[in-house]
Every structure is written in C-alpha cells, then in structure tokens.
Structure 1
C-alpha cells in the first residue's frame, strides 16, 4: 500500500459532523494517516496532525460554526469535491472518501446534482451504480435518488443489469466468492404475487434476470422484498439488488448504521462515504460516531489493495 497515492478525504459541509469525525479518525488511527489527504478549509486543517496530507480550499480567514451552515462553507465543500475529482484524474489521489454534504446548501452555490454519485459520474465518466457494503450486507440499487412515483417507469433492463453486475463485483472483492449468490428484490409487495399485485416482475424483472443467469449462475428470480435481508442474515445469499432507495436503505440502516459504507460503483475511480448525513443538530458536540467513516476508509484500503 505504500506505493499508492493517498485517499482524498473531502470535508463535506463545514457546519456538519464531517470535521469532527475526520479529526477523531485521524487521532485514533496514526498508522493510517500516511494514506490520507484531507481537503478542506485552513482553520480545520491546522487542527490535524502534521503527518497527514492536507490540501486547502477556501479563504484563509474562513471559520466554520458547527450546526450553522453558510454559503461560504457550501462553496468550500464544492471546491473540495472538485479538487478530489481532479486529483484522481491527475494521479495525485487513488480514491475519494467524501464526508456528508447538505444538498440544499450546495444547490445555492451551483451544485446541480442529486448527490455525490452523480457529481463524480459527471467528472469522471461512467454510468454509476449506488452500492453499499457493510459487515452483513452488500447491496446495489437499480434506482436511487428518484421520487417513488417515478420508480416503476425508471426501472429498465440496463439498470437491473448494472445493479446485478455491481453487487456481484463487490461480493467477489469483499467476500472472495467466485459465483456470488445474488438476491434480487422485486418491486411490488410479495414480488407481485404472480402479477396480482403488479406486473413489473412478470413483464420486466424476471425476463432480464433469466438472461443474466447465463453469466451469474446463482442469480435469484425477483423475490419478496420483505424477506430478502433476513435471508441474507441466514446465509442464503451473498449480496442483494434492490429496486429503489428506501427498499435497501431502511433495513440496511436499521441493522448496519455504523458499519455500512456507500460505494459509487462503475466509475473510473473509487469513491466511498459513510452512510449518514451532515447531522447539523449534533455537530460540534463531540458525540458523532466515526464508525461509518472508519469503515469507509478501511473498505477503500481493501478495494485498492486487491
């Protein structure tokens, strides 16, 4: 690992918990600091140990106020993302670990993306897949930041295929299984119950899965979504494909809130993040856990080493 470029860590919203979880992680993990480069504002970078990489964005005079987001802080968060994306292209960074941003605040400074995933896809190219990896679950989403009313219209063969491929790749990398057992959630309750509760499984999802099974021999048919995560816990499957955001994130966060890591798959460079938001209400109170952040950094190291 000594030969790789450092992992860029972006500050996220300066008023959120990003700064304190980065700081506590750096203090607790001295042996890993040489693999990291934090991109953020000067007043925060000055608090970090000297043996961690640092790249400043924003004015020297800027000071964040925990829990009180401002335009200047959103601009710094945006500039940190731009620096990390450019740095990967230039070979200065091997991957990016993003601390949480406020999409509402970022929109005010011209960040016209639904989230980090879409931003990095625009800068790096590729058709991204939002995936998550924890100690118990690996899951990829066919759709993610979309209104629930639009999901049935958005699901198509390409999205299902990309999600299956992403989950399989993650399971191979992280679990070392050659032919992962992939559980696919149906869209409708009871996976449509043979078309009685919706026909997406019959008309779209299962026909696509039947095609893909030539390449993924342990790929399920569309399964009742309410039992898929429980079946993974019983070791019936290695990874999951979900049709939409909360179908995956509700059970994932209930069971693996501190362990799950967001992984943007199918991009030229690796991007990971903790699976939580800015948490403005607790920012600056020294109560924010760095467990998900730590999991994200460790996962990036594992993926870069393979």
Structure 2
C-alpha cells in the first residue's frame, strides 16, 4: 500500500493553501495525502489561481486533478491573503498537533508541513519557537533539524536561539545525542550504510587551537572522540568558512553546523527551490518546506511549489522505506 501522509497547509494567509491546491493538480502514485486545513481558505486559494478543487471526505478516493482529501480545521476568522490574523493561531497549531498525533497513533505514515507565521502564532497567545520544537515536545523525544537539497544535507546543533545563547546550549552530551540521531537517520532513512558526517567548529577557524575560543577543545572534540570510539565516521571540527567547498562537501554525507545561520545560508544558496526541512529522531518522518509564508505572494499564483513537491516526495520515500522494513 502507498504510504499515507498528513499535509498541514500552515498559515492560512500565506502561500501554504495555494501550494496545496497546486499539489492537488498532480497525479501521485507514491502516496495518499490528507490535507489539514480550513475548507474556505483552500476554496479561496483555488479560485485565486483559477484551478479546479474538489474537497473530499477522509474516506474518499482521489479521482481527478484538483481532488483533496480534507481533514477540516476551521479558522476562527476569515483568512485574507497576505494579512495573518492572530485569531487563527489556534487553528494552525491545532492542525499541526492533530496531524502529528495521527502519525503517532499510526493513522498516517508521515507528516508534511507548510509554512507558518511565528509572530502571528505568538500574537495569538501561544508560546511558539518553531514546529520542530513543537513536534519534539508532543512526541517526548529529542530531535535534530536537518535541511537537505540535491547538493548537501545540513543539520543544526542548535535551532531557534539568539546568537548570544548558542555557546551555552552546545554541550558534549547534546552533541553526542544529536550525532547519534543523525547517524541513525542517514543509515536507516537515506540508506547510507556507513555515513560520514562533518562537524563544524563554533568559532572562526574552528577556534584556532584555542586562541579564538575553547569550545572546540573543551566540548566538540571530546564528543567526537567518544563517538569515534563507537565506530562513527566523523570529520572535524572544521572551519565553517571552508567546509562547504565543493571538493570537501563531496566527501561528506551530511554536515552538523553549530547554529542556524552558520549552515543554512550556504544550503539555501546552493538550491533553495528544492530544499526541504526534515526533523530527525521523531517516531515518524516529518518533512517541511524550506521557505516562509511569503505573504507578499499569497493569492498571486506566483509562489514556487517546488519545495512542497520535494517535501512530499522525500516524505513518501522515507515513509515507504520504513513500512518496508
């Protein structure tokens, strides 16, 4: 059987709903998709794009382009393109938690998520730092954020933190846990028998032998040594300014960056359109688009659906691989 994926449209005022409508125009033989979203928002998105749309009950079968199997999550206020409303924050978070809960129960084999608007969710009275953290808390497990495209896979030792908090958040134990999660995901979900992971330093020039900071000596190297003793193939700590040279990158299966803006700008520059965001360590595969809500494009039909298409393809492949084991 094809894997069953839950797809959350995300912020109703952004491009997520119209990307779901664009996705529904494709025939998919690799998975079955249920969309968690507001029915009126999807209908308005389809009308703005002049695309066919038919909303189906959860037990119905997709028969033609434009069919969407819907798990309805009604907004508290009508959605307007480009104008996020904090009153809809609970519907956005509710859809995420409901879809993820379905994955935890086994109703779905994987989760794909569209872009959300963090400021609007917080303005709606919900403390929210990111979907990665939200899903990890719900599942009660430690996770690793990894972004990937056709050029590279880049994971993060810390995610959505102020820069001044990063050094204190990186510990020997946290790095060991994160690298074990990465190793297992690369082996099991990406079919890499013996993954090679490059680990970046925190400081310029990876600390310059302690002259530019001791985090590499005191924290990162002890973590790498402990895991090398277990048989993991780890390279580093490497200076971040040279680790992404094509000749070096070709020798790595993935890179662990120490903080958000150390690794992700390089990955997005190398292929933003096809990049996806994976949450490693969850009991189910979760893949997200690698872009924001693009409020300025909402309703215009100009939003590029490539990242959502890639996210669905990636999630379906991983979910199918897990089902086959």
> What is the TM-score normalised by the length of structure 1?
0.92
> What is the TM-score normalised by the length of structure 2?
0.87
Equivalent in the alignment of 1:35: 32
Equivalent in the alignment of 1:157: 172
Separation in 2, partners of 1:138, 1:232: 15
SS for the counterpart of 2:124 is coil
Which 5+ residue runs of structure 1 have no aligned equivalent?
A: none
The alpha carbon displacement at 1:258 in A equals 1.1
Separation in 2, partners of 1:200, 1:233: 23
Deviations 1:258-280 (A, max 9, x none): 12211111122222101111111
Deviations 1:73-117 (A, max 9, x none): 323212211221222233222221111111111113333121101
The question of 1:57 aligning with 2:73 is answered: yes
The alpha carbon displacement at 1:137 in A equals 1.0
1:213-232 matches, cutoff 5 A? 213-231=228-246
1:1-306 matches, cutoff 5 A? 1-2=1-2, 4=3, 6-27=4-25, 29-32=26-29, 35-46=32-43, 47=46, 48-49=53-54, 50=56, 51=62, 52-58=68-74, 63-173=78-188, 175-231=190-246, 234-306=249-321
Moved more, 243-252 or 225-234: 225-234
Separation in 2, partners of 1:150, 1:96: 30
SS for the counterpart of 1:169 is helix
Separation in 2, partners of 1:110, 1:270: 29
| Structure 1 residue runs of 4 or more that deviate by more than 6 Å after TM superposition | none
Number of equivalent positions = 302
SS for the counterpart of 1:110 is coil
